[in-house]
Structure 1
Amino acid sequence: MSTDTRTTQPAQAPRLRKPSWKDPRLLIGILLVLASTAGVIALLESQNTTAEVYSARRDIAVGSALTPEDLVAVPVRLGDSGGSYLPVSEGIPDGAVLTRLVAEGELLPAAALGRRDELNRKPVGLTVEDPLPSGTGPGDRVDVWVSARTDTNSFEEPRLLLEAAEVAELTEGESALGASSSTLVQVLVEDAAMPDLLDALSNDARIAVVLNLGAGS
């Protein structure tokens, strides 16, 4: 019996060819890398771009006509939200008034601008004897309760007339001894609720203003 002394030679691995500049796969890969790099650079540049917009120099109440004295120009980086605020380059629109309170230091939103004839809320002054909690001010929400006067000079059960009305202004009164005697609260009243409130005021109804902590501003 003969023995086969031949050995099996290992198969040679195929040689890798150097990619050619004419290979379309290589060109597509390079284009994708360049496009990705350009997108990242553009994003970083947009985030680092500053623009001047208006900021409130002090609290500005609803219905106030805007003047240069109310505003200050500030450079900010807004990115994609830049269109939400009034740029200094456009100036203050003629006849523009605020449709909501803009607090001191707040950037002026473009959506907060309107015209006086578009306002559906108007300030009404309510004098209340019971002081509101310390720190209550413009922008807070209050409920207004009314107790109508009866023919016998007493008062009916209180009913809720205005819910979550916005405070436009608040002024503390002082007595002769310097102590707080009453508070004048300017609340913003929608046109639909105005007749009932004015009727209550003209008929000497008892008015109570209660801070509404659960209402959003």
Structure 2
Amino acid sequence: MSASTAAGGARLKKPSWKDPRLIIGILLVLASVAGVIAVVGAADQTAEAYTAREAIAVGETLSADKLDRVKVRLGEVEQHYLTPATGVPDGLVAVQRIGKDQLLPRGSFGRPDGLDRKPVAVTVEEALPEQAVAGSRVDVWVALPDTRNGFSQPALLLPGAEIARITPGSTALGSARSTVVMVLVTDGQMPNLLGAQANKAKISVVWNPGGVKR
């Protein structure tokens, strides 16, 4: 047998299971597969969380019958939301509006005595702009009655007030249907608004597209 034939036979020899290079290759493949499985498993981890079955207005009491359960990937921010794992604490009210099907941030709920805004019913006679919906911001203008059976120049009373809810008002004979707008009012703004209502002021609501509290 020639030297070249011997060398070719050596090259074509099947590797042994005891070959360190083969063992290292198998271990690397197994490690790669395990890593991929771990990454996919971690990405697919979901947890149960609460969402609002219907919109929850500011001041509304939180209860389990107003919530639905969903599977979501919250990851590291899970502690910032109300979940079935932690339950629904008693006596909480919404301090921020929660829209339908939205998750419930813990910071959106608190105790009733911690509310810095309270809903007040404002009746308006004119049609509201379509953008004026619950959660949007509006400017509330008032015109006080004058001595000539009319009204004085309107003045801006509540800039950038948030709408909590809108409901149809009563219909007087021969007049258009009014609308009751629940606006969120701070304690500092409350006397002026209640005083205007007590003095039969004409109240108008203007959509504030920037949501600015001037």
TM-score, structure 1 length as denominator? Answer: 0.75
CA distance in 2, matches of 1:123, 1:172: 16
Instruction: Report the Cα offset of residue 65 of structure 1.
Output: 0.7
Tell me whether 1:203 sits opposite 2:199 in the alignment.
Answer: yes
**Residue identity opposite 2:52 in structure 1:** A
Is contact 2:131-2:207 (8 Å) kept? no
2:100 aligned residue (92, 100, 104): 104
Is contact 2:54-2:66 (8 Å) kept? yes
SS at match of 1:181: coil
- Structure 2 equivalent of residue 156 of structure 1: 152
CA distance in 1, matches of 2:82, 2:151: 50
Mapping 1:27-176, distance limit 5 Å: 45-134=41-130, 136-173=132-169, 175=171
CA distance in 1, matches of 2:78, 2:43: 10
Change in 2 beyond 3 A, CA 1:143/1:216: closer
Is contact 2:136-2:163 (8 Å) kept? yes
- Structure 2 equivalent of residue 183 of structure 1: 179
Instruction: Report the Cα offset of residue 216 of structure 1.
Output: 6.6
Instruction: Report the Cα offset of residue 117 of structure 1.
Output: 0.3
Change in 2 beyond 3 A, CA 1:216/1:74: farther
TM-score, structure 2 length as denominator? Answer: 0.76
Change in 2 beyond 3 A, CA 1:216/1:158: closer
1:194 aligned residue (168, 190, 194): 190
The runs of 5 or more residues in structure 2 that have no matched partner are 1-30
Is contact 1:173-1:180 (8 Å) kept? no
Is contact 1:148-1:158 (8 Å) kept? yes
Runs of 4+ aligned structure 1 residues displaced above 6 Å come to 40-43
CA distance in 1, matches of 2:162, 2:184: 5
Change in 2 beyond 3 A, CA 1:173/1:198: closer
SS at match of 2:139: strand
Is contact 2:123-2:169 (8 Å) kept? no
Question: Which of the pair has more CA radius of gyration?
Answer: 1
Change in 2 beyond 3 A, CA 1:215/1:93: same
Instruction: Report the Cα offset of residue 83 of structure 1.
Output: 2.2
SS at match of 2:107: helix
CA distance in 2, matches of 1:216, 1:44: 45
Instruction: Report the Cα offset of residue 137 of structure 1.
Output: 2.0
CA distance in 1, matches of 2:76, 2:197: 48
SS at match of 1:138: coil
Count of matched residue positions in the alignment of Structure 1 and Structure 2: 181
